[in-house]
Amino acid sequence: MKGIVFEGERQLIPGEFPMPRDPGRGEVLIKPSYVGLCYSEKHHFDSPYQTKITQNPTGMIWGHEFAGAVEAAGPGVSGLMAGDRVTIDPRFRCGTCPMCRAGLITNCEMTGWIGLSRENGGLAEYTLVPDYMCFLLPAGVSDLQAATVEPTTVGTRAVRRSGLSVGDNVVFFGAEDYNLGALQFARLSGAQQRIVVDPYATRRAAASRVGATLTIDPRHDDALTAIRDLMPRGADIVFVGMEDYVPEASMYLKHAFDAVRTQGEVVINRIYSPTPWENVMTVVPWMKEVRITHYGDFYGEEPQLGGRARGDYQLTIDMLASGGITPDAYDPQIVDFWSLDSPTDLAEIFDGLPDSSAKVLYRVHGEPSQG
């Protein structure tokens, strides 16, 4: 079967691989339809620093944001059968460690991502997953939409766990996929002014479609002045999506602390840089009594909230089904998986981002009409 493997920095190689074995106990064979290109993958593709900290193994099929159909279910799997449409929560978990028992499943002591740090992922004709990774899709959610659940869920959790309240004024530095998810949930939660700062036109356009009340290009306008004009006392909450290939992002944390109000909150959704704090005057958050929180790829299924049924992943799917959030507004670039023949084809896609699109999805077995 065809698959695309990671072989080191800037080396994503399409090739032929053996079919996965038949699903064992508690396992499910998936036929991926759409697979998202995660902005974390762009970092790992570009940067030896990122590759090293997440210990990306070489020779592994990539792809951790995917939806597809169940091809076969192994012994002991209940509630999933051939033909069921599912989206995948890519985190492995043991189910028995203290973190798992507390519902903090992505902090499992045995965790790892399928298709990124452990086991072959979804950028292939077929892939094998544990049954607990599968979330059934309601009829109203397309496979293409479902392939965006994973990054969107970071935003779900960031807003759910923040102190955001109706009428708050919020600012987003960086409109990568996590912050675009958080923007949608901030809008749903009643945030009033929603300012998005990002140097890429594709991302500002996506932010406008999903609920920004103002977008600012930091290459042309002074973001802090524009924020103060609308929020004279500062923002109640600032969300930061920092990426090391975005030159302006080296100032995002500094600007976040300058833009937030006294006793406000800075939520760090993404912090990809070897020296993210280098431009921060740490006296500023200290004097302002700023609350600083981090939500990098954490999803919860806390028992007191209802466990899996009301966890961050299921809530994101439910909000897609109800139309509360819509990934269609990202206007994703769809890439035909079957047309990717060489490492150069992949490098072109990665190098084009984010000028080319706010989000890329590979179409594997998905019907074009599903998009």
Distance separating alpha carbons of residues 298 and 10, to the nearest angstrom:
27
Task: Give the nearer residue to Zn ion in terms of CB position, either 177 or 265.
Answer: 177
Task: Give the nearer residue to Zn ion in terms of CB position, either 88 or 260.
Answer: 88
CA 21 to chain centroid, in Å, comes to: 29
H or E segment and range at residue 70: strand 65-73
> What count of other Cβ atoms lies within 10 Å of the Cβ of residue 251?
18
Task: Give the nearer residue to Zn ion in terms of CB position, either 97 or 188.
Answer: 97
Task: Give the nearer residue to Zn ion in terms of CB position, either 26 or 261.
Answer: 26
Among 200, 191, 260, 199, CA closest to 224:
260
Segment 124 to 153, residues that bind Zn ion, using CB under 5 A: 150-151
Single residue of 53, 81, 94, 287 touching Zn ion by CB under 5 A: 94
Distance separating alpha carbons of residues 191 and 165, to the nearest angstrom:
7
CA 365 to chain centroid, in Å, comes to: 22
Residues 41-80 as x/- pattern, contact with Zn ion by CB under 5 A? ------------------------x---------------
Shortest spacing between CB 359 and Zn ion, in angstroms: 11
Shortest spacing between CB 254 and Zn ion, in angstroms: 26
Segment 300 to 339, residues that bind Zn ion, using CB under 5 A: none
Residue 108 binds to Zn ion (criterion: CB under 5 A): yes
Residue 243: C-alpha distances to residues 199, 237, 240, 269, 357 (Å):
12, 20, 10, 11, 16
Shortest spacing between CB 118 and Zn ion, in angstroms: 14
**Number of chain residues interacting with Zn ion (CB under 5 A):** 9
Please give the backbone phi and psi of residue 213, each rounded to the nearest 5 degrees, phi first.
Answer: -90, -20
Shortest spacing between CB 77 and Zn ion, in angstroms: 20
Shortest spacing between CB 102 and Zn ion, in angstroms: 10
Q: What is the tally of helices (H) and strands (E) in the chain? A: 12, 16
Shortest spacing between CB 354 and Zn ion, in angstroms: 15
Distance separating alpha carbons of residues 233 and 227, to the nearest angstrom:
10
Distance separating alpha carbons of residues 190 and 237, to the nearest angstrom:
13
Task: Give the nearer residue to Zn ion in terms of CB position, either 152 or 169.
Answer: 152
Task: Give the nearer residue to Zn ion in terms of CB position, either 54 or 213.
Answer: 54
Shortest spacing between CB 124 and Zn ion, in angstroms: 17
Burial of 184 (0-12, 13-18, 19+ CB in 10 A): buried
Please give the backbone phi and psi of residue 101, each rounded to the nearest 5 degrees, phi first.
Answer: -65, -25
Task: Give the nearer residue to Zn ion in terms of CB position, either 148 or 215.
Answer: 148
Among 301, 252, 257, 307, CA closest to 275:
252
Stretch that binds Zn ion, among 103-111, 190-198, 260-268, 286-294 (CB under 5 A): 103-111
Segment 215 to 254, residues that bind Zn ion, using CB under 5 A: none
Shortest spacing between CB 81 and Zn ion, in angstroms: 27
Burial of 370 (0-12, 13-18, 19+ CB in 10 A): middle
Among 78, 91, 66, CA closest to 28:
78
Shortest spacing between CB 197 and Zn ion, in angstroms: 22
Among 298, 335, 301, CA closest to 63:
335
Shortest spacing between CB 357 and Zn ion, in angstroms: 16
Task: Report whether 138 contacts 145 (CB < 8 A).
Answer: no
Task: Give the nearer residue to Zn ion in terms of CB position, either 304 or 344.
Answer: 304
Residues 177-206 as x/- pattern, contact with Zn ion by CB under 5 A? ------------------------------
Single residue of 60, 73, 86, 100 touching Zn ion by CB under 5 A: 100
Q: Tell me which residues touch Zn ion (CB under 5 A).
A: 38, 65, 93-94, 97, 100, 108, 150-151
